[in-house]
Structures are given as C-alpha cells and as structure tokens.
Structure 1
Amino acid sequence: MPLKTPQQYIESLRDGRVTYWDGERIDDITAHPRFQVPIAMTAKDYDYDDPDYRNIRRYQTEDGGSAHRIYQIPHSEKDLADRVEMMGNSAISTLTTGVFMALMSVKDQVGEVNPQYAANIERMYKYARDNDLRAAEVITDPKGDRKRRAHEQDDPDLYVRIVDRNKDGIIVRGAKLHITAASLIHELVVMPTKGMRQDEKDYAVSFSIPVNAKGVKIINRSFAPAELNPFDYPASAHHSMPEGFVVFDDVFVPWDRVFLAGEVPLASKLAQSLGLWERTGGVVEAARLSELFVGLAQLVTEMQGKEGDPMAQASIAELITYAEMIRMGLDYACRHFETTASGMIFPNTLAINAAKYYYAANYHQTVRYLHDLGGGLVLTLPLESDLRNEESGQYIRKYLYTKRTVDVEQRMRVYNLIRDLTADAYGGWQFVVALQAGGGLVAQRTMMNRTYDMNRAKARALKAAGALPKAKAMAAE
C-alpha cells in the first residue's frame, strides 16, 4: 500500500477508539483541542514530500516498496547511522513504533520455543510497515505491592494477564501505565514488564492489538495545557504528547497477533529487547538536548556581557563536557554495533546503557549550570502579552536592555526556552523522563554488569598485581 499522507493519518484516527481526558470521553480526537498539537506533531512525520526530510523518512523495502525508516531493519553501519539521523528528527509518537525493532531482534529466539509466535512477529511487522501504521510500546504494569509477585497480588489484574484461552485466541485483562502517544497510534504492542516464573505463566503475555479493539480504553494526561503561547512556551507549545493509562477490559486477541502466551522463559527476553532500542532513542534525544543547552548557556552569557567571566566559562565547559560525552557514547555504540544471528545489527548494548546512565545520572546537575547562568529571570520574565502592551511593554524593553547588540525580544525568547525546557511544562516532564525512560538507573546498572567483560578485567588486574589466576597457580605447583 502507498505511504499515508498527513491528512490520511488524521482520518485514520476516526476509528471509534475509546479515549478519556480530564473526565471527558472524547469520541473524535481529531476535532478536540487537547489533541491538536500532538496530532500535528505525528502528522508531520507523514509528510514524505518535505524536501528536508524526504530521504530521512523513507527507505526502500526488500520487495521494492517504500516505507517509513522507523521500520528499516539495520544490516549495515550506514543503515544504523541513517536510523539514528531519523530518530533525531522524528516525533516521539513515531519513535515508539521502534517496538517492532525489539520484536524482530528476538524473533529467532522466540521461534526456537514457538515457531508460530515468530511467524506472528514477522507478519505483524510487515502489516504495520506496509500499511504505514504507528505503534506504542506498552510495557509497564501497575505492579501493586512491589514486594509480591504478579500472582500474589490482592487484585490479580495488577499485571496484564490471560484470563481465558480458546481455539480463536486469548482474552486479556489489566492495565499498562506511562504509555506515550497511546491515543495517537494504531497498534498497541504489549510486552511483559519483566521476567516471570512458572507459577506466573498467565502473566507471560505479549501481543499487538488495534487501539480501537473492543475493551481497550485510554485515559490521557499531558504536561501541557491544550493551548500555549509559543512565545512564552517555545517547547511545550509544539511538543506536548499525552501519556496514556491503557486499560484492557477483557480484550480478545486472535492467535495470529499473539507473540507470547505462557512460555515463561521468553518473558524476560521480550522485556529486555525493548530496553535497548528505547535507551538508544533516549541517548539520541540527549545528544540533541545537551547541545541545545550549550547554545542557550553561551547566548545568555553573551547577552549579559559575561562572556569573559571565568565562572561562566567554567559552567559552559561543564555543559560542553556533558554534551560531548553523550555524543561520543552514541557514536561509539553505533560504530561498535552488535549483530543477531539473522544479520540484524543494533547499537552496542554496553555502550548504550553506559551512555544512557551517564545522561540520566548527571541530567539534574547539568541543568543546574544553565539555571545558574540564567539567573532568576528564567522564572520571573514577564509574558509576551505584557511585552505587546504599549504601557507595560515600554518598561520591559527599557529595563531588560543590556547592550546595543542584544534585542530585548530575542533575549526574552532565549530565557523562555530555558524555562520551558528545564523549569516549566516540558521541563517537568523531561526531569522525570531523563531518569525513567527505558527503565531507571537500576536498569542501566544491571545491564552494564551483565554485559561488561568482567573476566578480562579481572585477568588484567591479576596480571598487573603480579598474581597468577588460581588455575595457573595450581598448575605451577
């Protein structure tokens, strides 16, 4: 099928999906003010004729068709580089469709346990690709009492579970939290939140289901109001995206859409597969954002006439270090890629986890440098309406003046972006996302401990200490 146009994407959302926001059931999200900005963000990635992004957004499939590059399975370093470039120029509602990369990366392992599940993964991947659909990563369960396993909860539905099986498919019940763009995509791709034990086999479940499937309900929340002035909110006014609280109220899933239904050993493999690609997306965004921080820091410093101030230069150097460490981590991960048995390449697991950890662990301290350089004006700057008011505007232009080369309105725009990115609507969302997207810091520590070549490190340490490894010592005796 041909690629969708932005308008065709918008039309595709009028499919009877059940969506709530602020206590209201919204029957047509395309006509509701709450969804105008996120829909516009997502629709933009359907503009395949945009000369600036034509080659970034599309690629040629193995059968000669065209598809969005979010579906391209990398088989070379160039493929991976093209994918990273696309990720840096796409809405998050497009990037979540990368969940199919996670599925395809473990398809062979899934096939060793159940060949039908592997066939289902490939079929759903091609179906979504060829119909130019978007998907959501649906992974995090409510979890209830964290001290107890899934099957030990007071309410058995606190993890998504299979409540019935028949010849046609499975019936699932439960909820998934923090599902970015859930109301704006076409397919909800459900993955296990973690590994499961044999007595939790009903909770070892993975599948893909249309958003408008009977029994699916989405409750939305966003960091930004429906309408924001782009002068005062230069980030939030253009980049707000709802997070979905997704409910599965006895949803029927046909067998040809099931990827896992009780095969416990596969639960952890599916859960872990998503983490790598999600963290890769986080590092790509971190590289973009950290460079923006450097630019903003330099601008406010120059606007204040402090470009020669040693303390200001020291703070900017810290921001540069942060930005370059993230960029080098991403570059290393892509250049030292790994390969699956079927030839799919993916970023180096250890490098991506180390880069994501560095980004998340140092994000809040890094923002501190930007706030220190900007000062209190980051929070107390008057609004655009006051600037445009003839009476109040004259005072704003008079007292925000610094020197002839600095335009007051431009200065206000720079400060507004600092506030919006780090201390207001978008900034509040980003403070949490920097830590939690792709799993918290513990998740990255765990993967680093698993993938680091500890035996080589210990051998080098023993050699440096002049001590023989135990086996060689015994042989020498």
Structure 2
Amino acid sequence: MLMNVESYKNSLNDGRVVYYRGKRVENVAAHPALGVPVSHASGIYRLQQDSKYENMMCFTDKESGKASIFYKIPQNTEDLVARHKLIYETTRLGRGQFNIVKAIGSDALFALMYVSRRIDSKYKTDYYNRVMAFYRYVVEKDLSLSLAQTDMKGNRSLRPSEQEDPDMYVHIVKRDKNGIYVSGAKAHTTQSIASNEIIVIPTRNMTEADKDYAVAFAIPANTKGITMIARPLKETETTMNDSLSVIGRENIEVETITIFDNVFIPMERVFLNGEYDFAGLLAMMFPTFHRFTAISYRAAMADFLIGTGKLLASYNGVDDKSNIRRNLAVLISYKETLKATAIASSYSCTYDKQASLAIPDIIFTNVGKLFANENYTDVVKNIVDIAGGLVATMPSYEDFENSNEKTYLMKYLAGRKKEETMERVRLFQTLREFISSLGSLYLAGMIHAEGSIEASTMELCRSYDYSSSIDLAKFASGINDKLEK
C-alpha cells in the first residue's frame, strides 16, 4: 500500500535518536532545519499520489498491488532505461536536486539479491530468502531507505582488524542464536534521518582476520543503540528567510554520522555474517547500481545548469556570442555524455539468472561516473563565466523589499529588457545559492559521492576486458599474424 505524505512524515516520529547542532531532535519532520530534507524526501510520496505521474512513479506488484516503481526489480534493458528516466525526471521535479530516499535503498537491495545468491550457493546459507523477505516488507509498507556503507576508517593504512580502535569499522561484537550485536559508525549516511530503515553493507574487501567486519543487515532507524548526528545545514539556515531562494529552503538532503552502539540485529535481518570472501563483491556490486543512479541524476542537475546558463545569456543579451556558445557546449556535453553512458549501460546490461535481475554494464557506468567526477569543476567554471560577477555580488532579498532601494535596483539590474529584471535577479540568486551556500557540499559530493575518482578508476581497470585490445596490439605490431578477436 502506497504511503501518502502525511503518513510518511508521521512514520518518522518514532523516537529515533537524532542530534542537530548539539541538541536532541524529538521530531525531525517538525524541526526548522531537518524538516527541509524530510520535506524534500516527501516529494517522492507526493508524486506517487499524483495521477499525472502515476505511470512514472508506480508499478503493479504481483503480491502487493500498486507499489513504488523504485522497487521494481529490473529484468532487462527496458527496465533499466525506465529507471534512468525515473531518476532523471524526479531530479528535475526536485528543482535539479536528487531525491535519494528510495533510490539508494533499492540500489542496495538489488546488490544484496545478487550477492546473497552466491553466498548461499557456497555456504548453504539462507541469505537470499532473508533479503527477499525484507524486500517484500519494504514494498508492502512503501518504506523509505538509507544506505550506510562508508566506515570511519581511522588509520587508513591499516585493515579493519588492525585498527587501534576496533569501532573504526562497523563490526560484530557478539553472536547468539537470535542474532548479532554490532558496534561502530558509518559516515555520509544520506537522508538517514528521513528514512524508515537503514541498510548496512561493507565498505571494502575483507580478509579472514577481518571476518567480524564482514557484516550486512537492515534495521529500523529508531532501533535502540543507533544515534544519528546530522551535519549542519548551512545552506538551509542561510536561506531560511530568503524569499528569493528556493533550493535551500525546499530541496536539500542531509548526511549523518550514524553510530551503532552494541545494536542487536535479529537473524532474519542479517545478510552477511562473517563470510569475508564476499564482502568485496558486495562493496563492488552496490556501487555498480548506485553509479548508474548517479549518472542519471547528475544529467538532470546539468540540465538545470544548461537552462540557467542559456536564460542568463539571453537576459544579458549575449547568447549569440562565441564564448557563450563554448560555455554552453561544455554544459551540454557534460549532460549528454552522462545520459549516453546511462543508456549504453542499460543496453549492454547482463541478466543474472540466479538473482533474476538485470545489472547495468559496469564499464559504461564507471566511464560515465568518472567523467562526471573529473569534469564537474569545469562545468562550474563555465556556468560562472556565463553569469558574470553579479552571481557573487547580487544584493540581498531585503534590499528588494525596501522601496527606496528597489527603485534603484530595478533600474540598474535590468538586462536586455526591463520586464525581465526580476526573472534575471531570481536566476542570479538561484545560481549564487548553487555555487556558494551549496557550493562546498556539491564540490565534495560531485568528486566523492557514489565513489571517488580513484574508486571508478580502480573499477574500470579491474573490470575492463583487455583481451581484444591486446590481440589488436599484437596483430598491429606483427607479434601475431592474424587478429584472433
């Protein structure tokens, strides 16, 4: 059964332990700052209740009836292309800002389906059935999910089991017949405060010595022993009373350090319990699905920048200038390259019979993700070059509310046409918000979120099939007399 917005927000008022700026937050949905990412997340629930978007947001599940399409298990190219369009369009409907609250959890579920089948095959465990039981529960209740993968890591030159403080990686501290107990902490847990359930998976490969760190599970966000410490939402706090800013007041997500202090996980919710030789596979399969999500939402974010750049160039009367065209070409190339790699990844997908799901092509996905990471700063440079200095020095909204100042501002901030002045001002304000109050967040996110530049580089070099390239090199140089592949 699909939840509505009110039911979703009420479901978060469950006694979860959340701190913001040193104070315990009793109800995240009602909090002046944290309520913003909750409201942003609720946009997914709002869209799925809107008949206009029903076909995009919902599918008919054989067991549950109408369900969120984020949880539709991809079976083929068509399903993956539809998922790309879903993430692209919901990002556009979020004013160019990604809405992660079901996307990341479903990415993790698909990875767990794939890996659990292989663990069961080797160790005769029952993980796949547990994963699918949890999946059915999420679909039937229409729950929001967050994913906790990145450990705190401590001394990064040491493996998990070698850390001076064992809690630098989430690990099993006790096992009994009913379940396991875990301690440790995860960083960058996006929208955990706005999620019903938290899925936890390993961040890296493990050795036998690290087996207690090879753990995966799902647990309600209000479980005893879980504490979430939210980052300060400076981009929201600085725009809370700014009538000319929109994104920071309505479309922001929040990350937490998520602490597990001797948390009990019932056995039916445990998906990896010391099988260290599968920790790396799970740590790799989740990013495969999530980087596909990343290039889809980043394409939509680029669409926002293209439109902003084109409008500002037009309002400034310079949209026909060669330097502006070059700037716009960079933005267009960025967006369309990401879309192309997402679609190529869909068409080159592989179907896994064991887990009954389609997997995006790992090479095209990582090519797109690496391109997105390495070229984001160039995108920012070009949009700023289009906008000009006013993107940094635009007066405040209070100045436009003072009638004495407004007369001057409306006169001197006019561009090509006087009747476009306020539209031009709003575009400058929005872009300034994007590159200033949101700037540091996006700069770090576009380089590190969904895996760093190094992570995509490693995956490309590890997964690429070099055989035909090597064969061609041997043939071209005369080492071989004929081309084998």
TM-score interval, smaller chain: over 0.9
Structure 1 stretch displaced more, 378-387 or 321-330: 321-330
Distance 2:419 2:125 in 1: 65
Cα deviation for residue 261 of structure 1 reads: 1.1
Structure 1 stretch displaced more, 235-244 or 195-204: 235-244
Equivalent residue for 1:328?
A: 340
Point out where structure 2 has 5 or more consecutive residues left out of the alignment.
Answer: 92-98
**Which secondary structure does the structure 2 equivalent of 1:250 belong to?**
strand
Correspondence 1:87-106 to 2 at 5 A: 87-88=87-88, 89=90, 91-98=99-106, 99-106=108-115
When residues 402 and 459 of structure 1 are mapped into structure 2, their CA distance, relative to the original with a 3 A threshold, is same
When residues 396 and 199 of structure 1 are mapped into structure 2, their CA distance, relative to the original with a 3 A threshold, is same
Tell me if the contact between 1:141 and 1:160 (Cα under 8 Å) persists in the aligned partners.
Answer: yes
Equivalent residue for 2:58?
A: 58
- For residues 316-341 of structure 1, the C-alpha deviation after alignment (integer angstroms, 9 at most, x for no partner) is 22222222222211221112222112
Distance 2:29 2:208 in 1: 44
Cα deviation for residue 114 of structure 1 reads: 4.1
AA in 2 matched with 1:256:
E
**Which secondary structure does the structure 1 equivalent of 2:126 belong to?**
helix
Equivalent residue for 1:169?
A: 179
Cα deviation for residue 231 of structure 1 reads: 4.4
Tell me if the contact between 1:235 and 1:426 (Cα under 8 Å) persists in the aligned partners.
Answer: no
Tell me if the contact between 1:240 and 1:426 (Cα under 8 Å) persists in the aligned partners.
Answer: no
For the aligned residues, what is the CA RMSD? Answer: 1.9
Cα deviation for residue 142 of structure 1 reads: 0.6
When residues 230 and 456 of structure 1 are mapped into structure 2, their CA distance, relative to the original with a 3 A threshold, is farther
Distance 1:326 1:203 in 2: 35
Q: 2:226 matched to 1:225?
A: no
Q: 2:137 matched to 1:138?
A: no
Equivalent residue for 1:18?
A: 17
Equivalent residue for 1:401?
A: 414
Distance 1:13 1:469 in 2: 67
Structure 1 stretch displaced more, 72-81 or 135-144: 72-81
Q: 2:81 matched to 1:72?
A: no
**Which secondary structure does the structure 2 equivalent of 1:171 belong to?**
strand
Structure 1 stretch displaced more, 83-92 or 126-135: 83-92
Distance 1:331 1:230 in 2: 39
- For residues 405-444 of structure 1, the C-alpha deviation after alignment (integer angstroms, 9 at most, x for no partner) is 65110001111222222x2222321111111111101111
Distance 1:268 1:296 in 2: 41
Equivalent residue for 1:446?
A: 458
Equivalent residue for 1:252?
A: 264
Equivalent residue for 1:108?
A: 117
Q: 2:377 matched to 1:364?
A: yes
Distance 1:29 1:18 in 2: 10
- For residues 251-276 of structure 1, the C-alpha deviation after alignment (integer angstroms, 9 at most, x for no partner) is 01111110111111111111111111
Equivalent residue for 1:344?
A: 357
Distance 2:58 2:120 in 1: 29
Equivalent residue for 2:297?
A: 285
Tell me if the contact between 1:386 and 1:392 (Cα under 8 Å) persists in the aligned partners.
Answer: yes
Cα deviation for residue 6 of structure 1 reads: 1.1
Tell me if the contact between 1:192 and 1:205 (Cα under 8 Å) persists in the aligned partners.
Answer: yes
Q: How many residues align?
A: 470
Point out where structure 1 has 5 or more consecutive residues left out of the alignment.
Answer: 473-477
Cα deviation for residue 353 of structure 1 reads: 0.3
Cα deviation for residue 24 of structure 1 reads: 0.5
Q: 2:279 matched to 1:267?
A: yes
- For residues 334-362 of structure 1, the C-alpha deviation after alignment (integer angstroms, 9 at most, x for no partner) is 12222112331122110010001001101
**Which secondary structure does the structure 2 equivalent of 1:280 belong to?**
helix
Distance 1:15 1:307 in 2: 52
Distance 2:442 2:343 in 1: 23
Correspondence 1:367-406 to 2 at 5 A: 367-404=380-417
Cα deviation for residue 64 of structure 1 reads: 5.6
Match 1:179 to one of 161, 177, 189: 189
User: What TM-score results when the alignment is normalised by the length of structure 2?
Assistant: 0.93
User: What TM-score results when the alignment is normalised by the length of structure 1?
Assistant: 0.94
Cα deviation for residue 136 of structure 1 reads: 0.8
Correspondence 1:448-463 to 2 at 5 A: 448-463=460-475
Tell me if the contact between 1:333 and 1:349 (Cα under 8 Å) persists in the aligned partners.
Answer: yes
AA in 2 matched with 1:104:
M
AA in 2 matched with 1:361:
E
AA in 1 matched with 2:310:
Q
